[in-house]
Amino acid sequence: MLANVFTKTIADRWKGMTIGVISLFALLVMGMAVYRDIDLSVYTSLPEAYRSLFNIPTDADVGALAFGVIYGSYGALIVASLAIAIGAATIAGEERNGTIGLLLANPKSRTIVLTSKGAGLTAIVAAAGLALWGTAWLTPQILGVNTTGMHPGALILHLTMVSLFFGLLALAIGASTGKTGVASGVSAGVMAISFVAVGLLPLFEGWEDLARAFPWYYFTGADPVNNGVDWAHIAILIAGCVVFAVVAVVGFKRRDLRSQTVGVSVIDRLRSNPVTKQFADRLAGSVFVSRISIKTFSESQALIYITAALMFLVMGLMLGPMYNLLDETLRNLTGQLPDAMLAMFGGGDMSTPEGWYQLETFGMMAPIAVLAVTMVMGARSLAAEEEHRTMGLLLSNPISRSYVLFEKTIAMVVGGAIVGFSIFAGVAGGSLLGGLGMSIGNIAATSLLAALIGLVFGALALLLSAATGRVKIAVYGSTVVAVLLYLWNALIPLNVNIAGWAKWSPFYYYLSSDPLNNGMNWGHGAILAALTLILVALAVALFNRRDLRQTG
């Protein structure tokens, strides 16, 4: 199986995508089962213009809406994110781990190595698309849902191509720079901006055509689930993939490769500047162990800063003035939509500035942003030290395992707090710029709850990292749990008989008290903080008792 680069790439990377596909299958079954029991009249009674806007066919069973909600949003984001992770690690990951020299010591050119790895990425994404197509056919058969007039296969084809587009973008950046953080951060940033822009721009008269400048448009713009495959859009995505492949080959062939990680931490940069040297020395302390949290933070600084900047500018500052440009009809649109549809995006009502920000920022994007930072930092905090064989060096200092985990936790908390503060600053600034008159205290409360929900799942990733010593298990495990619990909180309340079960999801304690309008619910905040502390305490117990790995 490991006879060549192509098969080794597949062997190394297929597990994450498989977990993602299985999780999406489970989500589709759960979502379709819940939607199936909702009164169809709440959808068919909507005005024709609204049904067209939200892709609700007149002759389809309401359960078929799950395709658009789960595969058309969560599914595409998950598969594309996994493709980005694979693309970023394809070449830059080999350099980061110091194995690129060993790989190129074989009688294979750089072009052959990169082509083989790119083919492996393509095969994994294509296999995921084929598996999702199978689940899209099987689920309605199991549940007896009518999908007449819908084209789930077309939706899956568009999903597969846009995921490959972003995966090859990450590959091109990683091959040209040798930096996984830059490759994954930039690619994820482009994806997030595309996702938001394509959702927002059509809401403003005269701005609709601007959405064509963003890759996500060629996934959803032609409404493939209702209209079938748009081959012109597929061709554009293929052209982008070809361009990225060429850029990757050219960039990889011309660059001096790194045999090991050579990044410079924030503290080292501060020390090199005479103005900040004294402050940096005091901040770092006089011994190595006092810098564990700073070193851990600096290793994730690109992810933190890029995420914080996107949330501040795109999902915060810009949305305030944009609200004033909304047509009055669109502002009143959400008041006529079923709660089942709005629940998938965190609720909200565009007739008020608070509802606008809840629907666009706090409902889904804010938790995604904080979770992306905290879960990656939590997963890598301990397991990455073991995988890179540096844990022994770290613990050779006169410190306990508990102290190491405590320092790593501090770095994760700081990272989550920075993203949470950027959300607060962006939304507060957007409210001021747009003259929306939102309560600064309520914005702060909601942003704090967003940071706390991120820390819960960051602590879960830390727990899995401490328990297994495997970064992939920690990342994928915490991600799957987070997505399942998010949808649990969104879907369970739709059935009044089991609505109370939603309280078993941490996401219930995030927005259920409507903090943008009602302010901080300290009981909910305390529950999220307590969950974080419990998970960290369990991580300490498991980390102290486990035999650590000293080999990769």
Closest CA to 131 of 14, 273, 226: 14
Residue 53 has a pLDDT of 45
pLDDT given for residue 276 in this prediction: 58
**49 and 178 in one domain?**
yes
Looking up tokens 């859009």, which residue turns up? Answer: 233
> What pLDDT score does 333 carry?
53
Query: Do 208 and 274 belong together in one domain?
Result: no
Same domain for 95 and 236, yes or no, is yes
Q: Could you tell me if 114 and 173 lie in one domain? A: yes
Distance CA 20, CA 83 (A): 11
Instruction: Please state, as a whole number, how many other Cβ atoms lie within 10 Å of the Cβ of residue 230.
Output: 18
Asked, for residue 294, whether it belongs to a domain, the answer is no
Q: What residue numbers bound the domain in which 271 lies?
A: 264-289
Domain count, the chain: 3
- C-alpha torsion 361→429→377→360, nearest 10: 10
Would you state the pLDDT for residue 261? 46
Q: Which residues contact 111 (CB under 8 A, 6 or more apart)?
A: 249, 252, 253
Q: Are residues 311 and 337 in the same domain?
A: yes
Q: Are residues 497 and 523 in the same domain?
A: yes
- Cα(98)–Cα(362) distance, rounded to whole angstroms? 40
- Kindly state whether residue 437 falls inside one of the protein's structural domains: yes
Dist. CA 509–CA 531, nearest whole Å:
11
Taking the C-alpha atoms of residue 514 and residue 524, their distance in angstroms, rounded to an integer, is 11
Per-residue pLDDT tens over the stretch 367-393: 988 998 999 888 888 877 777 777 777
Looking at the chain, how many residues does it have?
A: 552
Q: Are residues 335 and 214 both part of a single domain?
A: no
What pLDDT is recorded for position 57? Answer: 52
pLDDT per position as a tens digit, 391-428: 777 776 777 888 888 888 999 999 999 999 999 999 99
Dig out the tokens for 258 from the structure: 């790194």
Neighbours of 151 (CB within 10 A): 18
- 85: closest CA among 393, 476, 547? 476
Of 147, 186, 172, 169, whose CA–CA distance to 64 is shortest?
147
Residue 344 resides in a domain: yes
295 within domain boundaries: no
In this structure, are 36 and 123 located in the same domain?
A: yes
Residues of the chain with pLDDT under 70: 1-3, 34-66, 68-69, 97-99, 101-102, 105-107, 203, 256-290, 326-349, 396, 494-496, 499, 548-552
**Cα–Cα distance for residue pair 219/229, rounded to 1 Å:** 10
The answer on 354 and 251 residing in a single domain is no
271 and 322 within one domain: no
Tell me, what DSSP letter sits at residue 445?
H
Closest CA to 375 of 301, 310, 486, 454: 454
**Do 123 and 229 belong to one domain?**
yes
Instruction: Report the SS3 class of residue 449.
Output: helix
Q: CA torsion angle for 373, 376, 381, 386 (degrees, to 10)?
A: -160
Residue 9, Cβ neighbours under 10 Å: how many?
Answer: 23
Report the amino acid identity of residue 504: W
> Does a structural domain hold residue 357?
yes
Pair 141, 253 in one domain: yes
Sign (positive/negative) of CA torsion 545, 373, 394, 529? negative
Residue 472 resides in a domain: yes
